[in-house]
Amino acid sequence: MIPSISSSRFYRVSYLCYVVLFFIFLITPLLVVAAFSFNDSLFPSLPWNGFTLDWYLGENAPKLGLFHDDALLESIGVSVQVAIVTTLASLALATCNAFLFEREQFPAKNFLYVLMLMPLVVPGVILGVSILVFSSTVANWFEVQFDYDFEALRPGLVLVTLGQFAFITTIATLVISARLRKFDITQEEAAMNLGASRLTAIATVTLPFLKPALFGAGVVAFLMSFENFNTTLMLVGSDAPLTIAMFDRLREGSTPVLNAVSVLLMVGSACLALVSLFTQRPVKQ
Amino acid sequence: MQEDLACTLLSKHFGEFAAVDEVSFSIPRGAFFSILGPSGCGKTTLLRMLAGFQQPDSGDILIKGSSVLHTPPNKRPVNMVFQHLALFPTMSVAQNIAYGLKRKGVPKREHATLIDDVLAKVQLPGYGDKRIDQLSGGQKQRVAIARCLVLNPAVLLLDEPLGALDLKLREQMKIELKRLQREFKTTFVYITHDQSEALVMSDHVAVMNKGRFEQVGTPQELYYQPKTAFVASFVGDSNQYAGTVKEQSGQLITIVTEHGVRLLSHGGQPMPLGSPVTLFIRPEVMQISTSRPEAEQDNCLQVTILRMLFDGARSQLQVETSEGAVLTVALPQTADYQALEPGRSVYVSWQASQCLCFPVATETQPEAVQ
Amino acid sequence: MSAEPSNANRTQYRLGFWLLLAPIVLWLGLLIILPHIDMVLVSLRERIASRQYEFSFSNYTAFFTEPLYWNTFVRTAVMSILATVLTLIIAFPVSFYIAKVLTGRPKIALFILCLIPFWVSELVRTYGWMILLRETGLISGALQWLGLVDQPVEMLYNDVAIMVGLIYTSMLFMVVPLVTTLDSLDNSLIEAGYDLGGSSWHVMRSIVIPHAMPGIMSGCIVVFMLTLGNYLTPTLLGGKDSLWFTEQIYTQFITRFNWEQGAAFGILLLILSSLIVWLGLKITRQSFTRVMS
């Protein structure tokens, strides 16, 4: 079962085969997507018509490449914007939450904590529609009371950002709280003992300690926002983030340009993943 | 002599529990002052009040003659070496030391010299660029001390900083701390539950129990002239023998044990006849002899050897008296005692002036701590 | 006398406390609690004229009287539970392999390999399966090339395709908690189990699985939630007739603009998911906060 306990050769080999099969199952769809972005065909399917970079660089329809497809590029821009705002907002709130739950004692703390976890168990579609319903209730109320149309509360990027922020904050809070829990509070006392005020102590000692968690939570938040579909679908207006734009194209019938976008996403995510892996681990000499 | 630190009637209660109970003391400038007590005696609370992390319920704290009760912890002229050191792992050694300098507003160009100086004094020259996790336990200790001493505090508080070290390193650091204290001439307030740390390093030791100071004195005073039964049992090893007062003439007290054995002891206070007392006899004051000593001894008992506890120069003999009490006697490693073996009958004797007796306290006393 | 600074201190603390409390209350109140309350209110009304509503259970009665609705509902629930169980069964041996069999570099490498596919959008992953499974896709092509079939086979748009996609999509959320909890199990406990005469099966059942229970539950809860609330995978891999409940919600809200009905569906789905999560926690005697953190 574990290496220190001997087991039969048959058991070990079949176990290994299972694990290998699992990883083939895991990787194949991605490899296929990547491979077909180089297929010189109008459809992302067999037969293989030879290698081409047209789906990246092609300038004219029907083989309009990714880097000349303004609609797709624009949607990437929208996604990046939304993701940056969501990430920064959720990191800020998550840090406050972490300090609140780890440092303060107050009545109903457990209740608030459970409430804070709720967004994790609310399906994304429902989170989306509930915010949609509530925001339009508020917007309608403004319209009736003040005869003012509250644009931000109608489906659009503001609502998309709020919707993503609503559940990403929970995840960021969990990551940052876990790190803050490991912090030795006497370090803050030591800082104060050496002459720092409370806020200076937090800024110079506690926050640097939290930095890996802040960075990690930031990367996760960015990716979750960038890739979010369910909540976004319900709240989206005329400006479509990338996932929505790709979904619409997929339903229309796809061209390999979607494969090209996918490859771009894979490369981007892999880079982020690697960067976060290397920064999370302290350099050992 | 001017006092660096003084406390008057300092108290701190947690609910009904008195963690620190009307403690008063003063420490002369440049002294190494230890507060020795078992865990839970209130010594950490006392230290945290001195540092400003806890507010006393009543009483006053004076540093260099002025009250610091209204001074927040970051403005007090005291620095603290924390129990687990609390070095900042995200900063290098030099940055750790510079932390307090920055907060004090010391000009940046002076930092390098100050840091190099203090690192040299703690015998870590050239360690400025190391990360904290590259240091050994003893080196971390030195950095934690350097980080405080670079600020020239009026008082340095040390909260059992040697607790986490292994035995050998702890012995070295005791001497090292003493040396540093001499060199910097700073007042050290050191709290510990380890009597050996307190005795070896300190000029003065306060023995603390249940929120109060039992006795304040030099290590020698505490060891040879304990004023209470608690101090007698807590500082150093002692054999304890129960009995009642039979007779008292001046400071010489005659005690009778349950089975009628008469023992003579020194007693510092008058005790009513018939009252229960505890006799404290240090292992090293008892003489072992294979035959009854010729000269008249104040106390002499015939005992049977139970077992030998060999520990080099600290070897001991456990013996049983005729009435069943077990005593521990120091066993000098000389040829005279080579022939001793369990089961053999020997004599132990000691002078009345070398043992002490105290009335039995109504509360239970702690076990003698090694 | 000494009360002054401690009071000042306390005020500062209190202020800090309120400053920390305010944002979380705003967040939970405005983005989680009030929207859900509002959704309940909307689901309990019926439009009788333009901008004229009255209290009614009609949206809920519609759900129970229309077989399509509750069939879809039950089907979604059953398939989600099935997908969760299958994910657990597939992921557990792999997690155990990573956590307990491997050590050092291969362990980290394989764990990262496990994570990497999930740094990529769900859409891309589902798209990959579409390319594999469709009539002109790779698997169909491979089968023809091998001579097993003589014409293209359509493997998309059926329940198996949906299931494969759901399991694939959820895998990460099962593997990560499992590896984490299994990793925290001290090897010497397993060795002690053997040493005291336990069989592999017995050690697994009485030592490994009880230890991994919080991880198993948190993986199951997250996978179940994601599956139940999934829209993308059933729609793309199941086609028009995938009959997934979230599609019903989308249809009511976006296509038919019948928000009252959609809100009622949303509430029903929420009740269903809470109920099943609660049951799962009760059966395995785990606490929600412990499992989720």
Q: What pLDDT does residue B368 have?
A: 40
**Given an 8 Å threshold on Cβ–Cβ distance, is A269 in contact with C36?**
no
- Asked whether C159 and A66 are in contact (CB, 8 A), the reply is no
Write a three-state SS string for B146-190. Answer: HHHHCCCCCEEEEECCCCCCCHHHHHHHHHHHHHHHHHHCCEEEE
Chains that touch A (3 or more CB pairs under 8 A): B, C
What residues in B contact C1, CB-CB < 8 Å? 69
Closest CA of chain B from A204, distance in Å: 9
The predicted model gives B325-353 an average pLDDT of 85
Q: Smallest Cβ distance to C5: which of B57, B58, B70?
A: B70
Interface of C with B in 113-132 (CB under 8 A): none
User: Residue C236 is encoded by which pair of tokens?
Assistant: 């793309």
- Supply the ipTM of this predicted assembly: 0.84
DSSP designation for A202: I
∠ CA(C193), CA(C199), CA(C205), 5° rounding?
Answer: 75
Tell whether A158 is covered by a domain: yes
User: Residue B137 is encoded by which pair of tokens?
Assistant: 């336990």
What angle do helix axes A9-36 and A257-280 make, rounded to 10 degrees?
130
Helix (H, G, I), strand (E, B) or coil at B23: strand
- pLDDT tens for chain A, 285 residues: list them: 677 777 778 888 998 999 999 999 888 888 888 888 887 777 777 777 777 777 777 777 777 777 777 888 889 999 999 999 999 999 999 999 999 999 888 888 889 998 998 888 888 889 999 999 999 989 988 888 888 877 788 888 999 999 999 999 999 999 999 999 989 888 999 999 998 888 899 999 999 999 988 998 998 899 889 888 889 998 988 888 998 988 888 887 777 888 888 888 888 888 887 777 776 554 433
What residues in C contact A121, CB-CB < 8 Å? 221, 225, 273-274, 277, 292
- List residues of A whose CB lies inside 8 A of any B CB: 184, 186-187, 189-197, 200-201, 204-205, 208-209, 211, 282, 285
Structural domain boundaries of chain B?
3-231, 238-359
Q: Which amino acid is at C93?
A: P
User: Residue B189 is encoded by which pair of tokens?
Assistant: 């307030």
What CATH superfamily is the domain B3-231? P-loop containing nucleotide triphosphate hydrolases (3.40.50.300)
**Given an 8 Å threshold on Cβ–Cβ distance, is A131 in contact with C129?**
no
Q: Shortest CA distance to A263 belongs to which of A32, A2, A71, A5?
A: A32
Write a three-state SS string for chain C. Answer: CCHHHHHHHHHHHHHHHHHHHHHHHHHHHHHHHHHHHHHHHHHCEEEEECCEEEECCHHHHHHHHCHHHHHHHHHHHHHHHHHHHHHHHHHHHHHHHHHHHCCHHHHHHHHHHHHHHHHCCHHHHHHHHHHHHCCCCHHHHHHHHHCCCCCCCCCCCCHHHHHHHHHHHHHHHHHHHHHHHHHCCCHHHHHHHHHCCCCHHHHHHHHHHHHHHHHHHHHHHHHHHHHHCCCHHHHHHHHHHCCCHHHHHHHHHHHCCCHHHHHHHHHHHHHHHHHHHHHHHHHHCCCHHHHHC
User: Residue B235 is encoded by which pair of tokens?
Assistant: 């500082």
Q: What strands, in cross-sheet order, belong to the sheet with B58-63?
A: B17-28, B3-14, B58-63, B66-67
User: Residue C28 is encoded by which pair of tokens?
Assistant: 């939970």
Q: What pLDDT does residue C36 have?
A: 93
What residues in B contact C5, CB-CB < 8 Å? 55, 69-70, 72
| pTM, rounded to two decimals | 0.83
Closest CA of chain A from B91, distance in Å: 9
Residue C2 in contact with partner chain B when CB distance is under 8 A? yes
Tell whether A2 is covered by a domain: no
Interface of A with C in 26-45 (CB under 8 A): 26-30, 32-33, 36, 43-45
Size of interface A-C (CB pairs under 8 A): 246
Give the max Cα distance, chain B.
78
Domain count, chain A: 1
- Strand runs labelled E in chain A: none
**Given an 8 Å threshold on Cβ–Cβ distance, is C5 in contact with B58?**
no
**Given an 8 Å threshold on Cβ–Cβ distance, is B90 in contact with A211?**
yes
Sketch out chain C's domains with CATH numbers: 60-292 (1.10.3720.10)
Tell whether A241 is covered by a domain: yes
Q: What pLDDT does residue B115 have?
A: 93
Helix (H, G, I), strand (E, B) or coil at A252: helix
Q: Shortest CA distance to B33 belongs to which of B21, B45, B47, B20?
A: B47
Q: Smallest Cβ distance to A195: which of B82, B90, B103?
A: B103
Residues 6+ apart with CB under 8 A from B79: A193, A194, B100, B147, B148, B149, B151, B153, B155, B156, B157
Tell whether A34 is covered by a domain: no
Tell whether A113 is covered by a domain: yes
What residues in C contact B70, CB-CB < 8 Å? 2, 4-5
User: Residue B217 is encoded by which pair of tokens?
Assistant: 């004195």
The predicted model gives B159-174 an average pLDDT of 86
Size of interface A-B (CB pairs under 8 A): 65
B204-209/B32-36 β-pairing = parallel
CATH class of B238-359: mainly beta
For C115-158, the pLDDT digits (tens) are: 777 778 888 888 888 888 887 777 877 888 887 877 777 777 88
Closest CA of chain A from C226, distance in Å: 7
For A262-278, the pLDDT digits (tens) are: 888 888 888 887 777 77
Helix (H, G, I), strand (E, B) or coil at B272: coil
For residue A154, the domain's CATH number is 1.10.3720.10
**Given an 8 Å threshold on Cβ–Cβ distance, is A233 in contact with C221?**
no
In our burial notation (b when 16+ CB lie closer than 10 A, e otherwise), range A70-84 reads eebeebbebbeebbe
Range of the domain at A107: 70-254
DSSP designation for A205: I
Tell whether A173 is covered by a domain: yes
Q: What pLDDT does residue C13 have?
A: 61
- Asked whether B74 and C8 are in contact (CB, 8 A), the reply is no
Nearest chain C alpha carbon to B57 = C2
Tell whether A160 is covered by a domain: yes
Tell whether A28 is covered by a domain: no
Closest CA of chain A from B120, distance in Å: 21
